[in-house]
Amino acid sequence: MPVPCNETAAPDVLSFMKAFTDIVCPTPKGLYCPPGDFYIDPTRPSPRAVVTHGHSDHARAGHGSVLATKETLAIMGARYGADFTPSQQAARYGERHRIGDATVWLSPAGHVLGSAQAVIEAHGRRIVVSGDYKRRPDPTCAPFEPVPCDVFITEATFGLPVFRHPDDGKEVAKALHMLDVFPERCVLIGAYALGKAQRIITLLRQGGYDAPVYIHGAMEKLCSLYESLGVELGDLRLTKDAVKGEMMSKIVIAPPSALGDRWSRRLPEPVNAFASGWMRVRARARQGGIELPLVISDHADWDELTGTLLELSPQEVWVTHGREEPLVHWAGLNGLKARPLHLAGYDEEDGEGPQGDNLKSAEDAAGEPA
Amino acid sequence: MNRFAELLDRLSYTPGRNDKLALIVDYFRHVPDPDRGYALAAMTGTLDFKHAKPAMIRGLIEERADPALFRWSRDYVGDTAETIALMWPVRPGVNRVPDLSEIVEELDRTSKLDMPGRIAGWLDALDETGRWALLKLITGAMRIGVSARLAKQALAQYGSLDIAEVEEVWHGLEPPYLDLFAWADGLAERPEHGTLAPFRPVMLSHPVEEADFARMDPADYRAEWKWDGIRVQAVSEGGVKRLYSRTGEDISGSFPDLIEAMRFEAAIDGELLVVRGGAVAPFSDLQQRLNRKTVGKKQLAEFPAGLRVYDLLVEDGEDLRPLPFDERRERLEAWVAARGEPRIGLSPLIPFANFDDLTELRGHAEAESVEGVMLKRGDSPYLAGRPKGYWWKWKRDPFLVDAVLLYAQRGSGRRSSFYSDYTFGVWKDGALVPVGKAYFGFTDDELKRLDRFVRDNTINSFGPVREVTHEPDKGLVLEVAFEGLQRSTRHKSGVAMRFPRINRIRWDKPPREADELGLLETMLE
Ligand SMILES: [Zn+2]
Ligand SMILES: [Zn+2]
């Protein structure tokens, strides 16, 4: 049974959001839509789920049914096995689905392949749950499409004005420059296995890098899936099949957890790089022993977050997780009504975490044996 | 400016010394004059801008950003200059990106009143790395892990020059060092040092091993104390007085008392020490005088600086360096006697007939300020660098304690997949208290085994740090060697070690047999 909304949020928040909580409301399991009796990206098994994208904090196994794009369903299948739910419903972008008394449709979010915003309409009002999104072009997925709405629900992972992601092509060029400066070393880029890894490989190709890209075993499945869904990645090879010498002056991509792991000893003197929006802050990069921080994120930066809010100018903005206070404060200064939801269970930047946790524990779970 | 910013950015993230050198050499290769010269000046700490200060920069951001958003950002980032660089509002297309040389020259020229506007204009035109580099340049707090010596080394490497020669000419030259780069590029002769009192590259020694003695005739050698102070070169020529560190850094500013006492026309090599009533004080007293831009009256009175001199390089314009040691020594002794300057004393020769006499002396050197003995051939000229076969250093045996490994931390750079930094402790009232940290002294194979031990015996993880088992019968004992011990309020144990390193790994010894803090207290300086 869904948790009644009025028991889960503070009274002042509810009075603020009252006009819309009968359509979507926050609960400990995630956002819930009473007229359709479904959850969006539920953090625990639920009878009916709409899933915005395949990152593991949004897409979990064990729901009674899942509505998502066919790419997201394929990603979930690759991750959890084909039986991750008894009932899969593939939705095209823009295609309307009636669930109970609500209508749901998906609009591209520009986050990773298959990512979508969930647009929920009921009682003549429209609420957009944006999931994770970004506004800049990404060669591996469809671009974000703004949907005018009454309530826009946004994350705020990078909700501080210090977070402005630079041009991703320039960031990748830094990695390529390192290959020139240190021809006897390789550049090991830590990147999340879903989305970030494939985007970086595509950017490398666009930057003129035609040599083989060596990948950690944990990347293999999702890279193949991307290729089968039409994203070309070029010559990929597994590090476990390679000898040390051939990886000199080459790019190697591995999950962030493999950086500094014993696994990396098979590589020729790796320059440790990490592709993440967190790399914008020097202390973060140093903490993780990163030699080459690459500020590349699949999340909206400060300018994208605030630009999107101004562009949509919804009646209300709800902020799910991240740095909610600064974004809400900014919205107030700019004449927008905004409230933090403090939703729990969603990782900062897709489980890459703001450093530390992953880098420390991962070696034990890093997929390939050492 | 973009290339310079990129260089600083790369250097700040690159731990390895050789990799840093490669980056700087790459920069010198690709960036034209005068920018590369100003970059060299920035890295060697030769630039100082009197009108551009941190407080003014803070004022600039306060005019442009919401104070609450700035505060949240500052708390998150942890560094004011970096926060400003990151959140500075972008004004695309307002300005062309200035060259480093333009910035340096303008910073020097611009009045205090015009400075904020000038800096704001540059911040508008630069990207975030450029803004960060500009703010670091202005505030002088670079923290990129590059010493002046390393920057000069890079220049030497770039031009295939001898670092000693670079250091020798350095003090006569000024940014942007056009003549220096012309020399490095093979387009001009070595620049002459036009100024007086230049630094002369010092002569260094090799550690002596037991096996070396068989090949050495005691009659050929002279022995001196190896002082536990700072090797310096004191030069006074034509009224210009300078005190240099052994790498050629000008440290005159910290020692006005000594500069004042340099009433001579010569270049001498000696040890900088705190000398009180004719007696040499321990190194910890000298530390009170180091790394200070200005010295107070109190420090001057409590920690008076003095010199123990052991070589005379130039006397009244005559270069003595080609002469044999014995001849220079004779001149030196006469020179010191003629001075009669209480702050400048002769470092005595220690008489000995055979090396065993010295073993005795060396082992029982009561003076806390001696760390061993120097052996110098009587016929050795004064040569730059570390020539083989002339000078030897014979260090007093280090102090040793058996300590227990408590925590291990991941190394950086190429060591980042190893737990290579070790915190160790000794017993006090039945518990282990940390007394120090060491990250060298072991072979690669030992490192692998230590790393394995850490991973197999972890009881707690905090970020990159692991706590390992340390019980009376379970854990690892490390024999730690160190040069001296001082009281410290910053350490829980109350003591701090100098140059601790792992001497031996006692795989055989249970932690209960490790040493007590009481033993360390008897070793205090
Ligand atoms: Zn997320
Ligand atoms: Zn995501």
B21 and B122 part of one domain? yes
Q: For position B493, what pLDDT does the model report? A: 83
Q: For position B94, what pLDDT does the model report? A: 62
- Nearest CB neighbour to A262, from listed B12, B68, B417: B417
Average pLDDT over residues A190-218: 96
Average pLDDT over residues B293-322: 90
What is the DSSP annotation of A169-200?
A: HHHHHHHHHHHHH-TTS-EEEE--TTTHHHHH
Q: Is B475 within a domain?
A: yes
The dihedrals phi and psi of A218, each to the nearest 5 degrees, come to -70, -10
Q: What is the pLDDT of residues B181-238, one digit of tens each?
A: 999 999 998 887 666 788 888 999 988 887 888 889 999 999 998 888 899 999 998 8
B421 and B384 part of one domain? no
B376 and B416 part of one domain? no
The CATH number of residue B498's host domain is 2.40.50.140
Q: Is B241 within a domain?
A: yes
- Asked whether residue B39 carries a pLDDT value surpassing 80, the answer given is yes
Distance A248 CA to ligand 2 centre (A): 32
The CATH number of residue B25's host domain is 1.10.3260.10
User: In a 10 Å sphere around its CB, with 0-12 CB exposed, 13-18 middle and 19+ buried, how is residue B15 labelled?
Assistant: middle
B471 strand-pairing partners: B474
What is the DSSP annotation of B44-71?
A: TT----SS--HHHHHHHHHTTS-HHHHH
Q: For position B73, what pLDDT does the model report? A: 94
Distance of CA B208 to the CA centre of its chain: 24
- Bigger pLDDT: B364 vs B285: B285
Q: For position B69, what pLDDT does the model report? A: 95
Q: What is the pLDDT of residues B438-450, one digit of tens each?
A: 988 888 889 999 9
B84 and B27 part of one domain? yes
Q: Is B487 within a domain?
A: yes
B385 and B462 part of one domain? no
Q: Which domain holds residue B462?
A: 399-524
Q: Which of B112, B139, B166 corresponds to the end of one domain?
A: B139
B238 and B382 part of one domain? yes
Q: Is B97 within a domain?
A: yes
- Asked whether residue B305 carries a pLDDT value surpassing 80, the answer given is yes
What is the DSSP annotation of B389-415?
A: TSEEEEEPPPEEEEEEEEEEEE-SGGG
Partners of B72 on chain A (C-beta within 8 Å) are 160, 323, 325-326
* Whole-number percent of chain A with pLDDT over 70: 89
The answer to whether the Cβ–Cβ distance between A283 and B78 falls below 8 Å is yes
- Asked whether residue A251 carries a pLDDT value surpassing 90, the answer given is yes
Confidence of residue A2 (pLDDT cuts 50, 70, 90): very low
- Asked whether residue B120 carries a pLDDT value surpassing 50, the answer given is yes
**E strand or H helix at A320, and its extent?**
strand A316-322
- Asked whether residue A1 carries a pLDDT value surpassing 50, the answer given is no
Distances (CA, A) of B469 to A210, B402, B466: 49, 16, 10
Confidence of residue A355 (pLDDT cuts 50, 70, 90): very low
Q: What is the pLDDT of residues B397-423, one digit of tens each?
A: 788 999 999 999 988 777 888 999 999
Residue A205, token pair as written in the block = 């190709």
Min Cα distance B45 → chain A (Å) is: 22
- CB-based contact (8 Å) between B76 and chain A? yes
- Residue A331 in 3-state DSSP? helix
Average pLDDT, chain B: 88
B428 and B349 part of one domain? no
Find the ligand nearest to A30 CA: 1
Confidence of residue B164 (pLDDT cuts 50, 70, 90): confident
Residue B95, token pair as written in the block = 């300005």
Average pLDDT, chain A: 89
The rounded distance, in Å, linking the Cα atoms of A70 and A51 is 11
Q: How many residues are there in chain A?
A: 370
Q: What is the pLDDT of residues A171-197, one digit of tens each?
A: 999 999 999 888 999 999 999 999 999
- Give buried/exposed letters for B40-65 (b at 16+ CB in 10 A, else e): bbbbbebbebebbeeeebeebbeeeb
Q: Which of B139, B162, B192 corresponds to the end of one domain?
A: B139
Among A165, A216, A282, most B C-beta atoms within 10 A, so best to mutate, is A282
Q: Is B41 within a domain?
A: yes
The answer to whether the Cβ–Cβ distance between B128 and A285 falls below 8 Å is no
B378 and B433 part of one domain? no
Q: For position A3, what pLDDT does the model report? A: 44
Min Cα distance B26 → chain A (Å) is: 7
B384 and B404 part of one domain? no
Confidence of residue A92 (pLDDT cuts 50, 70, 90): very high
B75 and B10 part of one domain? yes
A90 strand-pairing partners: A68
What is the DSSP annotation of A255-290?
A: -GGGTTSGGGGGSSS-EEEEESGGGGSHHHHHHTT-
B332 and B442 part of one domain? no
**E strand or H helix at B325, and its extent?**
helix B325-339
Partners of A163 on chain B (C-beta within 8 Å) are 86
Domains of chain A plus CATH, in order, are 5-162+298-340 (3.60.15.10), 168-294 (3.40.50)
The rounded distance, in Å, linking the Cα atoms of A20 and A28 is 18
The answer to whether the Cβ–Cβ distance between A291 and B68 falls below 8 Å is no
Q: Is B378 within a domain?
A: yes
- Asked whether residue A370 carries a pLDDT value surpassing 60, the answer given is no
In the block, residue with structure tokens 């990929």: A236
Average pLDDT over residues A214-230: 96
- Nearest CB neighbour to B76, from listed A160, A264, A286: A160
The answer to whether the Cβ–Cβ distance between A289 and B414 falls below 8 Å is no
Q: What is the pLDDT of residues A235-248, one digit of tens each?
A: 999 999 999 999 99
B24 and B84 part of one domain? yes
Q: Which of B82, B116, B139 corresponds to the end of one domain?
A: B139
Domains held by chain B: number: 3
Average pLDDT over residues B103-107: 92
Q: For position B337, what pLDDT does the model report? A: 93
The answer to whether the Cβ–Cβ distance between A356 and B73 falls below 8 Å is no
The rounded distance, in Å, linking the Cα atoms of B249 and A8 is 66
Q: Is B144 within a domain?
A: no
Q: Is B62 within a domain?
A: yes
The CATH number of residue B346's host domain is 3.30.470.30
